[in-house]
Amino acid sequence: MSSTVLILPGDGIGPEVMAQVRRLLDHLGGFDVREDLVGGAAYDAHGTPLTDETMAEAMAVDAVLLGAVGGPKWDTLPFADKPERGLLRLRKDMALFANLRPALVFDALAEASTLKTDLVRGLDIMIVRELTGGVYFGDPRGIEDLPNGERRGINTQVYTTHEIVRVARVAFDLARKRDSRVCSVEKANVMESGLLWREEVQALGDAEYNDVALSHMYADNCAMQLVRNPKQFDVIVTDNLFGDLLSDCAAMLTGSLGMLPSASLGAADAAGRRKALYEPVHGSAPDIAGQDKANPMACILSLSMMLRYSFDRGAEADLIEAACQDVLNAGIRTGDIVAPGMTPVGTRAMGDAVLAAMDARSGG
Ligand code: NAD
Ligand code: IPM
Ligand code: MN
């Protein structure tokens, strides 16, 4: 039985980085790959950022790989038509509540970080971001006209016990395979939803995960601690909005947003399979789109997460990660991670180099 993968390159640099992933997928073989539109590209073709047909296809395949969505061309569209809605619908309708965003510093890039080298060398943090709840999806929401002529914009931060417990469980289970430490992040000092979050995570830890060291931190402090002393963290579990912010922040520890992959996972079925979408943490980078400048590594490392989490092809995931390491060690780098004195290479040349490094490692 072949493994089905849906590729959604999206907008801006999405198609550029995904083209490199496509080459790797074809090289590995054994996948039935389909490709479709999402975001602004889907809006231009069909008048919606995600058609029902594409949604149905995403539900049917074993895994989805997404590039990036959005861009200035579509920024003034009504909310329902914005490219970002396509991505949010995929996450919500596939019930991908757990977003894993690993921030891992490759040795060769310790100097590329804006932080001091010894603060980040060897860093390995896993941010688990809740992805289908919170202020992104809470009701009521909207913009309304007030009788006094003012307007009011409304979004609602809301979490239920069930939503908190299931994502916390993912964090605890991951911690058990790592350094057995979870830091739960909210603002329990200001928000009731944050207090509930803290209470539920603590209760779950007490009941089922006594072997994992659990701590709690306010989100503002966490942002500060991430740049002060990032190695204090192992697994961070947090809500949808804080997770969005903290993962971009963690990206800079690794040298560039162009290095950070992610996996978005749903609940396991009876056979242990989860619906899954893999995407880089970065966006469509309109400032460099169409110039062969984007770093494809975040997308390539998302492919390696897919191999590991959806297909039990861990050896190939290891091979890709080792190849990325080789390429960085050889000083082959896009502009975002280039060191002084190096000449940056383009997106496609990075793809070439990763493929060549994979071949070299597998003796080919
Ligand atoms: P962005 O992540 O697109 O870009 C931020 C900065 O990082 C830019 O300077 C960009 O050039 C740089 N950058 C990002 N990825 C890079 C890569 N692979 N290689 C080299 N440099 C890279 O964020 P933004 O500018 O705030 O948003 C642009 C658009 O992308 C918006 O429409 C936004 O909604 C969308 N967006 C989409 C996603 C997604 O699809 N998952 C994520 C974030 C933002
Ligand atoms: C991300 C992005 C998305 C988010 C946007 C594009 C909807 O910033 O994946 O980090 O806010 O979740
Ligand atoms: Mn983001």
Residue 349 has pLDDT above 80, yes or no: yes
Tokens describing residue 129: 């971001």
- Predicted confidence (pLDDT) per residue in 264-311, tens digit: 999 999 988 999 999 999 999 999 999 999 999 999 999 999 999 999
pLDDT at residue 111, rounded to an integer: 87
Q: Is the C-beta atom of 248 inside 6 A of ligand 1?
A: no
Taking the CB of residue 309, how many other CB atoms lie within 10 A of it? 18
- Predicted confidence (pLDDT) per residue in 11-57, tens digit: 999 999 999 999 999 999 999 999 999 999 999 999 999 999 999 99
Q: Is 326 a catalytic residue?
A: no
CB 31 within 8 A of CB 85: no
In which element (H, E) is residue 217 found? Answer: strand 213-218
Per-residue DSSP letter, 115:
S
More confident residue, 305 or 363: 305
| Whole-number Cα distances in Å, 220 to 122, 131, 232, 235, 286 | 24, 20, 16, 17, 29
pLDDT at residue 276, rounded to an integer: 98
Residue closest to 82 by CA, chosen among 42, 131, 130, 55: 42
CB 56 within 8 A of CB 90: no
Q: How far apart are CA 304 and CA 317, in angstroms?
A: 4
Mutate to test the pocket of ligand 1, among 76, 284, 299 (most ligand atoms within 8 A of CB): 284
- Predicted confidence (pLDDT) per residue in 239-252, tens digit: 999 999 999 999 88
pLDDT at residue 364, rounded to an integer: 62
Mean pLDDT of 90-111: 96
CATH fold for the domain made of 1-101+260-364: Isopropylmalate Dehydrogenase (3.40.718)
Percent above pLDDT 70 for the chain: 99
Q: Is 179 a catalytic residue?
A: no
Question: Is 78 flagged in the annotation as binding?
Answer: yes
ipTM of predicted assembly, 2 dp: 0.98
Q: Is 26 a catalytic residue?
A: no
234: pLDDT confidence band, cut at 50, 70 and 90? very high
pLDDT at residue 114, rounded to an integer: 86
Residue 58 has pLDDT above 70, yes or no: yes
Q: How far apart are CA 333 and CA 353, in angstroms?
A: 10
Q: How far apart are CA 221 and CA 302, in angstroms?
A: 29
Distance from the CA of 282 to the center of ligand 1, in angstroms? 5
Residue 1 has pLDDT above 70, yes or no: no
- Predicted confidence (pLDDT) per residue in 176-205, tens digit: 999 999 999 999 999 999 999 999 999 999
Which part of the chain has CATH 3.40.718.10? 1-101+260-364, 124-253
Average model confidence (pLDDT) across the chain = 97
Q: Which of 36, 62, 234, 244 is catalytic?
A: 244
Q: Which residues are CB-neighbours of 363 under 8 A, at least 6 positions away? A: none
- Hunting for tokens 């931190």 — which residue is that? 217
Distance from the CA of 284 to the center of ligand 1, in angstroms? 5
pLDDT at residue 28, rounded to an integer: 96
Q: How far apart are CA 201 and CA 53, in angstroms?
A: 38
Full DSSP string of 300-362: HHHHHHHHHHTT--HHHHHHHHHHHHHHHHTT---TTTPPTTPPP--HHHHHHHHHHHHHHHT
Q: Is it true that domain 124-253 has CATH number 3.40.718.10?
A: yes
Q: Which of 36, 43, 187, 309 is catalytic?
A: 187
Distance from the CA of 244 to the center of ligand 2, in angstroms? 7
